[in-house]
Amino acid sequence: MTREKISLLLFLITATTICRLNAQPVTGSEIFGFFDYTNSSFPAFPHSSDARSCALGGNGVALTADAGSFYRNASRLAFADGNSGASVSWNNFSQLGGPNKYRMYQASFFRRLKANQAIGVNVRRFTTGEIYIAVPRVFPLILLGKRRLTETAVDVAYTRLFGKYFSASVTARVMQSDFIGDITMTSKGGYAVSGDIGFFYQRADRHLWGKPAKVTAGLALNHAGGKTRYSNSSEERFSPAMLNIGAGWVQNAGMRHELGVYVQAQKMLVPSYPIYVLDSLGRPVPLPGGNGYQIAAGKDPNRPVLSGMFGSFNDSPLGLSYDMKEIFISAGAEYWFAQFIALRAGGNFQLEGYEALQMLTMGVGVRYNAFEFGFAYLHPTTYDRGITDETLHFTLCYRAKAKELPERKKLPERTE
């Protein structure tokens, strides 16, 4: 048996062990928190699962390619080394933040079809214990009941190189969400279909201070899809669509040293909640006929998908300037020593918004032969921390060696 086959077998055994050890559901006694019943469906999936991305402040659209490239921008897979690769991730949200625990698991695999084409499959699952659901942004809180939430998504992606420096990808996704509990309202599991479109640019022939460097850039539209209905009522929730744009610079600083710097901007393409007219009990006042609520400021969030996505840039009840403050900015730096151990740090922040958040991130990576292990720790610095409070991320990657793809030598990097 070849070394590559042995490495792949060890990876599969380790991945299976991790999933079996951590697939136990959180019991109801562990959860007594609140889950924001927002205007977006599948609220967990916009969060990153890959430890490398998390340690770099959530950057993902312009990171150099690896086996975990599914996150944010699958077009990065076209530049991945080798003819195949796989990764498995485990995330433990709110590890140190008290009883509110949430867990996410992810496994992905990609295979190169030709020197310039690749396909991939990705599976994600998010679980909670028993949580309370409240009417969003109404005070005092109006509880709707308790739920146990599970969300599952299966992605299939295709990516292709166009020339030496540019790639594009399309991703199709099927998502399923279950609400199980003792709530009185009629509810059911939600299903949705969404997709991603991604673009990636990479050149490895740049130079700075006499040393080789690499420049990257990425653009991706994620989770664009139809609405999801969780009950028999007419209310539907938007898919958590988002627009990401980013860039990176990777500098070789010697035989054993490499430093990468990345920056990314992200905007959720989901309608903002308006300010509703409230009655004496603090509850939204229904419209005549019961189809929606009276709005004091802002726009009705119940509108067509495209109108909701593009209108999200100018639908805040506080004006356009407030919409622009809802953009997340992420920055991160990664240092590799001898391509063996990596130190990573970053952060992301939002100037202001409904979910205003500032977060510091850090992590490490270790590479040995065909394997790479990553760890990340997220520490929010704001009071309203949400499920990202004290989050731990673990990722194990396997990648086939580049020497298994001699045909890629037909695409040498151009030197200037």
List the CATH number of the domain containing 87: 2.40.160.40
Q: What is the pLDDT of residue 316?
A: 76
Under the banding of pLDDT at 50, 70 and 90, the label for residue 340 is: very high
Span 217-223, mean pLDDT? 94
Angle made by CA atoms 25, 30, 34, in degrees to the nearest 5: 105
* Helix H or strand E encompassing 114: strand 102-114
DSSP 287: P
Mean pLDDT in residue range 255-263: 93
Pairing between β-strand 34-36 and β-strand 117-134 as defined by DSSP bridges: parallel
Residue 87 located in a structural domain? yes
Give me the pLDDT at residue 19, please: 40
pLDDT tier at 387 (50, 70, 90 boundaries)?
A: low
The 10 Å Cβ neighbour count of residue 136 is 12
* 252 part of a folded domain: yes
Give the residue from 352, 346, 358, 350 showing the smallest Cα distance to 393. Answer: 346
pLDDT for 12 beyond 50: no
Residue 217 lies in a domain: yes
Give the pTM: 0.78
- CA separation for the pair 280, 350 (Å, rounded): 33
Query: What's the gap between Cα 379 and its chain centre?
Result: 17
In a domain, 297, yes or no: yes
Q: Say which residue, 391 or 363, is predicted with more confidence.
A: 363
**Per-residue confidence band for 276, with pLDDT thresholds at 50, 70 and 90:** confident
H/E segment holding residue 170: strand 166-180
Average pLDDT of the chain to the nearest whole number: 76
Residue bearing the bigger pLDDT, 342 or 31 = 342
| DSSP structure class, residue 293 | B
pLDDT for res 36: 39
Measured in residues, the chain has a length of: 416
In this prediction, residues 349-365 reach a mean pLDDT of 73
- Domain of residue 101: give its range: 3-409
SS3 content of the chain, % helix, strand, coil (to 5): 15, 50, 40
In the prediction, which pLDDT does 401 show?
64
What CA–CA distance (Å, rounded) separates 208 from 213?
7
Q: 192, 244, 224: which is closest to 305 by C-alpha?
A: 224
Quick one: average pLDDT of 352-378? 82
**In the prediction, which pLDDT does 17 show?**
43
pLDDT at residue 167 above 90? Answer: yes
Token pair 């921390």 in the structure block, residue: 385
In a domain, 248, yes or no: yes
Mean pLDDT of 46-58: 86
**Does residue 414 fall inside a structural domain?**
no
- Asked if residue 83 lies in contact with residue 110, where contact means CB atoms within 8 angstroms, the answer is no
Contact call for residues 176 and 193 (beta carbons, < 8 A): no
What does the CA dihedral 50, 54, 56, 60 come to, rounded to 10 degrees?
50
Name 86's bridge partners: 109, 398
Please report whether residue 42 resides in a domain.
yes
Span of 128-132, 335-339, 346-350, 410-414 with lowest mean pLDDT: 410-414
Tokens for 146, please give them: 């308790």
State the total domains in the chain.
1
- Residue 229 resides in a domain: yes
- List beta partners, residue 345: 333, 362
Residue pLDDT, tens place only, 135-149? 555 556 666 666 677
Does 203 have pLDDT greater than 80? yes
Q: Are 328 and 58 within 8 A, CB to CB?
A: yes
